[in-house]
Amino acid sequence: MFLAKKLLFIASACSVAFAASAQSAAPSNWPDKPVTIVVPFPAGGSTDMVARAMAQQMGDKLGQNFVVDNRPGATGTLGAGAVKRAAPDGYTLLVSSLGAFVVAPHLLKSVPYDALKDFDYITVPVQAPNVLVASPGQKARTVKEVIAQLKANPGKVSFATSGNGSSDHLSAEVFWQQTGTEGLHIPYKGGAPAINDLLGGQVDFSFQNVNAVLQHIRAGKLHAIAVTGDKRSPVLPDVPTLAEAGVAGAEVYSWQGMAAPKGLPASVKQKLADAAIAAINDTAVKKRMLDLGLEIVASTPEAFTAYQAREFARWKTVIETRKITAD
C-alpha cells in the first residue's frame, strides 16, 4: 500500500512537472502564426485607427502579421466577450476604448465578462481629453457663461453626445454634477452625427474627443471653451482646462487599452507589452497621434491594471449617482 501511494505521488509529481515544463516552453517561439487584434467597434473610428497603427508596428517588430478584426455590437461588449473566451496564448488581443473596460459593466444589465478578472492588461497606448465646444450660433464663449446659461435654463440647454455612456456623455454628467446644473442630454448613434448636428446648430454644446473636432475648431466652425484634461492640450494650447476655469473634479480622459484573455504566459505578456509600447512610441506613429490631439501614455501592464481598477470604481460611482442608463 505504501509503495503504491509512493509511486502514485511520483507519477503525479512528474505529470505536474511535465505540464509546467510544457507550458513554460510553449511560448518560447511566440508568435509563430498571425495574431488577431479584436476591435469591438466599426472600422474608421479612433480605436480602430490606433489598433491598426499598432498592429503594423508590432508585426514588423515581432515578425508576424497582426490582423485587426472589427466586431462591433452591444457598446463594445460583444467583441470583448469574444476575446475573454479565447485561449490565453497571445494570439487574440483586444484593443478597445474605455467603454468596454469601465463603463459598459455598470451601464448594461449583463456583460459577457468580468472586466476586473477576465483580462490581462497590456498597455494604455493613448489618451485624449474631451473638449467642450459650442455650436456656431452660441454666444457663450467661456465656462462661466455656459454655467450661467444652464442655470437660467435648467434642463433646456442641449448637449450632444455620441451615445449613452460614451466619454462625452460622462463628461457632461460630471460637468453638471460639479457645477450644480442640469442640461438636456441628446444622445446620437456615434460621434459623427452628433458633430454634424452641432455644426448645423441643432444642438447647443458638446464634450467631444479633441481629435474628433480639432479640424472644425481650427476652421472656426466650432468654438472651443475648455478641455477636460488635468493640463492643457498641446494641440489647443490657448484653451483652458475646466479646473483653470473654476470647475474642479471634472477631469475626464478618453483612452484606448490593449488587453488579452486572462492567463497569458508571463513571457508572452512581456513580449506583447514591449512590442506595444515600442509601436506607439515609433517616431512616425507618435507624430501622427500627437497631431490628432492624442497623448501618448504607453503604460506598463502593472500601471494599466491599477488604472483599470481606479477608472472602474470612478465610473461606477458616477453612473450610479447620476442614474445613467443605456436607454
Domains in the chain (CATH in brackets) are: 32-127+254-321 (3.40.190.150), 129-227 (3.40.190.10)
- Output the pLDDT for position 44: 87
**Cβ(212)–Cβ(49) below 8 Å:** no
Cell digits of residue 318? 458616477
- Output the pLDDT for position 26: 46
- Output the pLDDT for position 28: 75
- Output the pLDDT for position 45: 86
In three-state secondary structure terms, 24 is: helix
- Output the pLDDT for position 8: 47
- Output the pLDDT for position 191: 87
Residue 136: asked if its preceding bond is cis (omega within 30°), the reply is no
Alpha-carbon span 183 to 169, nearest angstrom: 11
Q: What are phi and psi of 95, to 5 degrees?
A: -120, 115
- Output the pLDDT for position 75: 86
Question: In order along the chain (327 residues), what is the average pLDDT of each group of 10 residues?
Answer: 48 46 58 97 91 97 97 93 98 97 95 97 97 96 98 97 91 97 94 94 96 95 97 96 97 97 97 98 96 96 98 97 87
Residue in 31, 96, 26 with CA at minimum distance from that of residue 60: 31
pTM (2 decimals)?
Answer: 0.88
